Amino acid sequence: MSMQLFQQNTERGAAMMIAVIFFILASVLLVLGLSAPAAREYRIGLDAITSRQSYSAGESGVEDAYYRLKNGMHLGSSTSFFIGNVSAATTITNMGGGVEEIAGTGNSLGDERTSTLRAIVGTGIPLRYAVMTDDGGLDMADSSSVTGDIHADAQVHGQDGVSIGGTATVANSSSGTYGVITGEDAAHPIHVGVGGVGNVYAHTVDYTNATGVLYCTLVVSSSGPCSTYPDPVYEELPITSTDISGWEADAVSGGVISGSYSVSLAGVTLGPKKISGDLTIPDSANLTLSGVLWVTGNLTITGAGSINLSSSFGANSGMIIVDGTITTSGASHIVGSGTPGSYVLLLSNSTSTSAVLYRGTGSAIVYARGGTAVLNGTASASFVAGQAVHLADTSSVTYDSALLGTVFSTGASTPPTILFWKETN
């Protein structure tokens, strides 16, 4: 009887244990079932928080960089910072043509979001040649030289064995007159190219020795026969009347100086500004451009007078627009901001055959919009353009590849034009 009772008790205990085990398992499953959605909700909430934090940090980086860009403050190519425990990295990329791109990426617990702004901060005008002319063409004499490519409409004429250290393109004129490149004679040809690089493109090639190929229709006493190629077509000068009108308007926005103005020997920082008269930079005086100048009279630089851009221009270029003539001395010096790719544009609206008489040194962009640009003495420039261009004595034009990405800034308070501002990642 007792044995039977013990067996029954044992069976009841085992059943109880099994019931308890099932109860525990059911409880665990119930808890897990209830906690999984809660964990998912927690993770979703945390992701939303980190995502917002990342977005805000990236936007903060873009806003800070744009503020600096808009106000002409120092702006490096990248920067990084923390907002609490959230990191932010900003990169600034020059897209060319006056367009800057700012990308700001925020990172919170590995969750990244990126915002990108793209804006036009200046007038992008790529300058593709060392010398460019309209129908007046290019004349070279004495020991003058060009390092880089040239594009002339109508004609290129060289005396005394001058050299062009690049490719020479002579297009037909705007009226259809055939383009001609010609040296002085067989003993004094124009030398084109360096080290096998440097072709000639023209309808007619006379007394020209090229290290490359002559692409032409007619050839006389040159380095080789013609290789068949269509005549080069007429090209207008790169800076338009619309560009100039916009720059002049920006100059006026900075105020007007009534009457002629002479820079003091102590030097001066000027611009944007319109000068209703002449501008004179005397011997040893320095003009620092903080913005565009529009001179309704003539610009004259004597002795060792000099021009440079304010460092705030960075890699951008500035300009002086002159309605009359531009005359510089042999000791004058014109340079940009000190940052590579920065230049000073000296542009004359005069139609005179002496629109620009340039004898200075440095890295100027010399531009005679409707007249003749003359370089002589020991003049040196980075780019020269005009209705016609004359190079004489030991003057030289040395092209810089950074001119392809030239961006002109007027220094006026006009904010950059935003092309887009959106999340990109």
Tens of pLDDT along 391-417? Answer: 999 999 999 999 988 889 887 766 777
- Same domain (yes/no): 248, 231: no
Residue 378 has pLDDT above 80, yes or no: yes
Whether 33 is in a domain gets the answer yes
pLDDT value at residue 312: 86
Domain range for 178 is 149-236
Residue 143 has pLDDT above 60, yes or no: yes
Whether 194 is in a domain gets the answer yes
Lowest pLDDT segment from 78-92, 261-275, 359-373, 409-423: 409-423
Percent of the chain scoring above 90 in pLDDT: 65
- Which of 236, 267, 300 terminates a domain? The answer is 236
Q: Which of 188, 137, 85 is nearest to 390 (CA)?
A: 137
Tens of pLDDT along 317-333? Answer: 999 999 999 999 989 99
pLDDT, mean of residues 177-201: 94
| Length of the chain (residues) | 425
CA 50, CA 42: separation in Å to the nearest integer?
Answer: 12
Whether 132 is in a domain gets the answer no
- Same domain (yes/no): 245, 333: yes
Whether 141 is in a domain gets the answer no
Find residue 256's DSSP bridge partners: 274
Whether 245 is in a domain gets the answer yes
- Which of 203, 236, 269 terminates a domain? The answer is 236
pLDDT value at residue 159: 93
The domain tally of the chain equals: 3
pLDDT, mean of residues 233-250: 94
- Same domain (yes/no): 276, 397: yes
Q: Which of 65, 55, 132 is nearest to 425 (CA)?
A: 55
- Same domain (yes/no): 104, 206: no
Q: Report angle CA 98, 387, 160 to the nearest 5 degrees.
A: 110
CA 165, CA 396: separation in Å to the nearest integer?
Answer: 11
Residue 2 has pLDDT above 60, yes or no: no
- Same domain (yes/no): 24, 113: yes
Lowest pLDDT segment from 65-79, 82-96, 127-141: 65-79
Tens of pLDDT along 47-57? Answer: 788 888 889 98
pLDDT value at residue 124: 83
- Which of 193, 221, 236 terminates a domain? The answer is 236
Whether 144 is in a domain gets the answer no
- Same domain (yes/no): 227, 293: no
CB count within 10 Å of CB 283 equals 13
- Same domain (yes/no): 20, 169: no
Q: What DSSP element (H or E) covers 192?
A: strand 190-192
Residue 6 has pLDDT above 60, yes or no: no
pLDDT, mean of residues 376-390: 97
Residue 304 has pLDDT above 60, yes or no: yes
Whether 253 is in a domain gets the answer yes
Residue 41 has pLDDT above 70, yes or no: no
The answer to whether 310 touches 330, Cβ cutoff 8 Å, is no
Q: Which of 235, 181, 239 is nearest to 368 (CA)?
A: 239
pLDDT, mean of residues 148-168: 96
- Same domain (yes/no): 106, 204: no
- Same domain (yes/no): 108, 159: no
Whether 134 is in a domain gets the answer no
To the question of pTM greater than 0.75 for the whole model, the response is yes
- Same domain (yes/no): 155, 52: no
Residue 132 has pLDDT above 90, yes or no: yes
Q: Indicate the pLDDT class of residue 96, thresholds 50, 70 and 90.
A: low
Residue 3 has pLDDT above 60, yes or no: no
- Same domain (yes/no): 222, 248: no
- Same domain (yes/no): 294, 181: no
pLDDT value at residue 275: 98
